[in-house]
Amino acid sequence: MTPEIRDVFRIFAVGFIAAILHTVLKQSGKEDFAHWATLVGFVAVLAIVVGYIDHLYREITSVFLLQ
């Protein structure tokens, strides 16, 4: 399994669990915590993705010779 595919699965799993956490917390009446859980999940995914976004921008600048 390439690292990219692994990250895709990782993002999927984090999103899935964040969704479950959100529903569970919301059902037990702790809506504020539910929103925090979603936010934490979003940040976690962002931390995984940020390297790829950086890579993408470098690629674009080099392809179009912007530097």
Partner 1 sequence: MLKLVGAMLIVLATTLIGFRVAGAYRDRPRQLRSLIRALTHLQAEVEYQTTPLPVALQNVAARGSPPCSTMFQRVSDHLIKDGMTVSEAFRVSLVRLVGESALQSADCEAIQSVADSLSTMDVTHLQTQFQMALEALRQAESGAREHGLKNARLWQYLGVLTGVILVILLY
DSSP character string of 6-39: HHHHHHHHHHHHHHHHHHHHHHTT-HHHHHHHHH
Please, which residues have CB within 8 angstroms of residue 31's CB and are 6 or more apart in sequence? 25
Residues that bind partner 1 (CB under 8 A): 10, 13-14, 17-18, 20-21, 24-25, 28-30, 41, 44
Q: Which is nearer to partner 1, 13 or 56 (CB)?
A: 13
Q: Which is nearer to partner 1, 28 or 62 (CB)?
A: 28
Minimum Å gap between C-beta 43 and partner 1 is 11
